Amino acid sequence: MTTTADSASAAAAKTDATGEKKVSIWGRPHVYRWGSLILVLGFWEAIGPSINPIFFSYPSAILSGAGELIASGELFKYLKDSLKILVYGMVLAIVVGIPLGVLMARVRPIDWTLETYINALYATPMVALVPILVLWLGIRVEAKVTVVFLFAVFPILINTYQGVRDVDPRIVEVARSFRSPEWFMWRDVFLPWAVPYIAAGVRLAIGRALVGMVIAEFYTAISGLGYLIVRYAHIFEMDKALVPVILLMFMGIFLTGALKFIERRVAPWNRKDD
């Protein structure tokens, strides 16, 4: 009886006055996220000054370099160029990838026709195609947008295809029993079911799109964050060269977080606690 009473007391201690569970500080994900970040930055700051600045830098020096780039207006100028390419390429990839993925999953002849080419292109290192695209399209915006599109479209397309293929057949039968037209099934059955798959595909596409954006800027016109990285790396100012690199990391974190927020709004039934 004593053991049972102690267990009940312990359980009660973990709940507040409203009956909700109290979460220990060690059960909160932000503690680990911010704690690990502080440790990494602290270690980086400690060992950074001992390394030749030609090859490496550290947080305080990078922060100082960022201040100089912001004051001169360079950072925002090149960031604007990169964001334009990223937005155009990602929007095009979403507009093409999602409908084509659903179409392939629903129309078998189209799937049989395109599957080989899509798998071949997805397996091809896109970096190898960049010089060819530059030769065909020149060094204008069109070439950069095409590179970002090719990097981003395949994860979206393939995940959408898989999500539609995984729809519960019983739900499809219910929709058919109510004589639902094909377009209504796309809207009411396939796309809602595939939302988690599509969101996962867009998350993968964001990372690939950022890579494609920087590679395109390496090969094409003198603009964007890619050019900023090359420019300062060539003159061995690593503090300034790392500023756009870290900015790209923050862009990836922000875009992924924004996508998670949108997914929770669009598909609340798929919500999971982080």
- Three-state DSSP string of 133-183: HHHHHCCCHHHHHHHHHHHHHHHHHHHHHHHHHCCCHHHHHHHHHCCCCHH
Q: Considering only CA atoms, which of 145, 267, 30 is closest in space to residue 259?
A: 267
- Rounded distance between C-alpha atoms, residue 115 and residue 85, angstroms: 28
Q: What is the value of pTM for the model shown?
A: 0.77
Q: Which of 46-50, 59-63, 84-88, 234-238 has the lowest mean pLDDT?
A: 46-50
CA dihedral for 21, 25, 30, 33, sign (positive or negative): negative
Residue-wise pLDDT tens digits, 116-158: 899 888 888 888 888 888 888 877 788 889 999 999 999 999 9
Q: What does the pLDDT read at residue 22?
A: 64
Residue-wise pLDDT tens digits, 226-266: 888 888 888 888 888 889 989 999 988 888 888 888 877 77
Residue-wise pLDDT tens digits, 20-37: 556 667 667 777 878 888
Residue 7 has pLDDT above 50, yes or no: no
Residue 59 has pLDDT above 90, yes or no: no
5 pLDDT tier (thresholds 50, 70, 90): very low
Q: What does the pLDDT read at residue 138?
A: 76
Mean pLDDT in residue range 213-230: 82
Q: What does the pLDDT read at residue 1?
A: 44
Residue 10 has pLDDT above 50, yes or no: no
3 pLDDT tier (thresholds 50, 70, 90): very low
The percentage of residues in the chain with a pLDDT greater than 90, rounded to a whole number, is 16
13 pLDDT tier (thresholds 50, 70, 90): very low
- Rounded distance between C-alpha atoms, residue 131 and residue 205, angstroms: 21
3-state secondary structure of 21: strand
- Rounded distance between C-alpha atoms, residue 202 and residue 80, angstroms: 22
Residues 6+ apart with CB under 8 A from 245: 229
Domains and CATH numbers, the chain: 73-270 (1.10.3720.10)
Q: What does the pLDDT read at residue 263?
A: 75
Mean pLDDT in residue range 49-73: 84
